[in-house]
Structure 1
Amino acid sequence: MTVTPKISVNDGNLVVHGKTILKGVPENVVFTPGSGNGLVNGGAFIGATASHTKSLHVFP
């Protein structure tokens, strides 16, 4: 069995399997679909772009 999560960032919303998880997602948040084979296909990396190459943000 293969599980394919459906994850996207649309109109400022983070949506997973058709459910809005976060609203008001900033425009600098980027979504990169994962690639690979395994039990879970369709994973993703969610990150953010910054104007300075040495910007660091730590989230608890």
Structure 2
Amino acid sequence: MALAFIVLFLVFKWVIEGFKWSFFQRQDPLLFYGTLIAAGLVYGFMVTYGKFWKRFKESDR
């Protein structure tokens, strides 16, 4: 789930920049990809927590 978010987010930002290769070259690679990975992990955690909470509430009934 996190990997799908990273790929879609990266493609979306690249589309906004107009599919220019300079988009990848302008960024500090460590900061750029580190931020993408961190955002993917946060997104994955939120989705997993939401699914857990939904299942927890359904089993409580």
Question: Which bin holds the TM-score, normalised by the shorter protein?
Answer: under 0.3
State which structure, 1 or 2, has the greater radius of gyration over its C-alpha atoms: 2
TM-score using structure 2 length: 0.26
Task: Give the helix-richer structure, 1 or 2.
Answer: 2
Say which structure, 1 or 2, has more relative contact order (CA 8 Å, 6+ apart): 2
Compute the TM-score of the two structures, normalised by the length of structure 1: 0.26
Greater strand share, 1 or 2?
Answer: 1
